[in-house]
Amino acid sequence: MKKVITGDHAVAIGAKLSRVEVVPAYPITPQTLIIEHIADFVNDGEMDTKFLTMESEHSVMSAAAAAEAAGARVFTATSSQGLAFMHEMVYATAPLRLPVVMANANRTLGGPPGIWCEYNDSMGVRDSGWLQVYVEDNQEALDMVIQAYRIAEDKRVLLPVMPCLDGFVLTHTVEPVDIPEQQDVDSFLPPYEPDVILDPSRPAMIGTFMPAEYIMELRRQTAGAVESAKSVIQEVNDDFTRRFGRDYGGLIDTYRIDDAEVALVTMGTVTSTSRQVVDELRQEGEKVGLVKLRFFRPFPSEELKKALKDTGAVGVVDRSLSFIGGGQAFNETRSALYGLSIPIINHLAGLGGRDVTEWQIRKMFELTLRAAKGENVNTVNWHNTRGESV
């Protein structure tokens, strides 16, 4: 069944179809519509779920971790300052191997305060052990909530997953979304059956104080789980494709990359607009392509290298800033491509929610093509920015 719905509505339906059992919630724009829709579903008897209105995001993640430890399938959603406020508990969840799924509506992390799309909020927890996936349309937002549970609860992974969707650009945009049938989701996603749960009849503790004597091994286990997620993500993607007919590619997706002389690496909705620009430039005779960086954790280093090794230059688009020159996606992609002797440049655009237009993406391709020809191009390029813009 197709419905014309917002990205937030799609995420809420994804949680409903995943039969989540506990939803601790706290509102924050532009995520609020997600928990409002879930509150409606619960109120209308469409969802058999414990809906908890918490007093802060820190309490949301505390409750999420506790409910997950007690064996429940848990969902919540947050954004920006809300994610910052729960930072401490976000870091607690992954090493405890609690497969919570939390959607993040990407939003500027103040100051200065702003409500529009930027990735600095979720980038701030990229080293927490959570897996992160960035989506480009509302269909993918819904589908990735369902896939997130299969990945998170896999015994080879057991890590929390954060599907990230662009604030307003998806959260508040309506477009047609194909709603999967409940029975099809049920056969794709079996009930959560943890091996170990908190149970008053068999007293145990988790999350206890841990001295240096043990913690190195625990860190290594968490790192190993993030690494094992790579093959699980691919398996889950392939199984989803077989059952639902939609193939997102797994860790990365590529578009017209096979004979591309240059490629952009994009995340989120910039990918969608860039697909159109790639088509236009191809018609004009330019051999350009696209790699969509879907998962930021685990980071798809090998996949990026394989996809980009035959290009003449790579431009990485960032919607967030790391103060070592350029954005996080750029710096991590450049590390992944270490050893390839091609120019790798950074395009900063859309910070604070500034619209990323077709003409800006054209400019990104133009600069990357110039870099491929050996021209002197800046490593970090600020697009559509007052002052020293490109």
Partner 1 sequence: MFELRFHGRGGQGAVMAAQTLAEAAVIEGNYAVAFPFFGAERRGAPVLAFARIDSKKIYSKTQVYSPDCVVVLDDSLLDTIDMVAGLKANGSVVINSRDKPEDIDLGKEITTAAVDATSVALEILKAPITNTAILGALAKTTGIVKIESIEEAIKRRFGEKLGANVGERNALAARTAY
Residue 343 vs residues 105, 289, 313, 318: alpha-carbon distances, Å: 32, 16, 5, 17
In this structure, the number of other CB atoms found within 10 A of the CB of residue 255 comes to: 19
> 123 or 177: whose CB is closer to partner 1?
177
Could you say which of 36, 175, 261, 310 contacts partner 1 (CB under 8 A)? 175
Residue selected from 4, 210, 218, 223 as contacting partner 1 according to rule CB under 8 A:
4
* 206 lies in the binding site for partner 1 (CB under 8 A): no
Among 48, 56, 127, 174, binds partner 1 (CB under 8 A): 174
Binding of partner 1 by 172 (CB under 8 A): yes
For the bound state, the minimum distance from the C-beta of residue 175 to partner 1, rounded and expressed in Å, comes to: 4
- Residue 356 binds partner 1, judged by CB under 8 A: yes
Phi, psi of 155 (to 5 degrees): -65, -20
Stretch near partner 1 under the rule CB under 8 A, chosen from 77-85, 265-273, 286-294, 306-314: 265-273
Task: Note whether 280 binds partner 1 by CB under 8 A.
Answer: no
The 10 Å Cβ neighbour count of residue 240 is 22
Contact 167, 79 (CB under 8 A): yes
Pick from 184, 227, 358, 375: which binds partner 1 (CB under 8 A)?
358
With binding defined as CB under 8 A, does residue 266 bind partner 1? no
Q: How far is the CB of 270 from partner 1 (least distance, A)?
A: 8
**Which lies closer to partner 1 via its Cβ, residue 117 or residue 229?**
117
At 58, which helix (H) or strand (E)?
helix 57-69
275 binds partner 1 (CB under 8 A): yes
Distance CA 84, CA 187 (A): 36
Query: Are 115 and 107 in contact, with CB atoms under 8 Å apart?
Result: yes
Among 48, 127, 176, 389, binds partner 1 (CB under 8 A): 176
CB of 222 to partner 1, least distance (A): 34
* Separation CA 96–CA 10 (nearest Å): 29
Q: What are the backbone angles phi and psi of residue 276, rounded to the nearest 5°?
A: -65, -40
- Smaller CB distance to partner 1: residue 5 or 372? 5
Q: Kindly state whether residue 43 participates in binding partner 1, applying the rule CB under 8 A.
A: no
- Cα separation values, 202 from 63, 130, 197, 198, 199, Å: 21, 29, 9, 8, 5
End-to-end CA separation in angstroms for the chain: 45
Binding stretches for partner 1 (CB under 8 A): 2, 4, 115, 136, 166, 168-170, 172-176, 269-270, 272-273, 275-276, 355-358
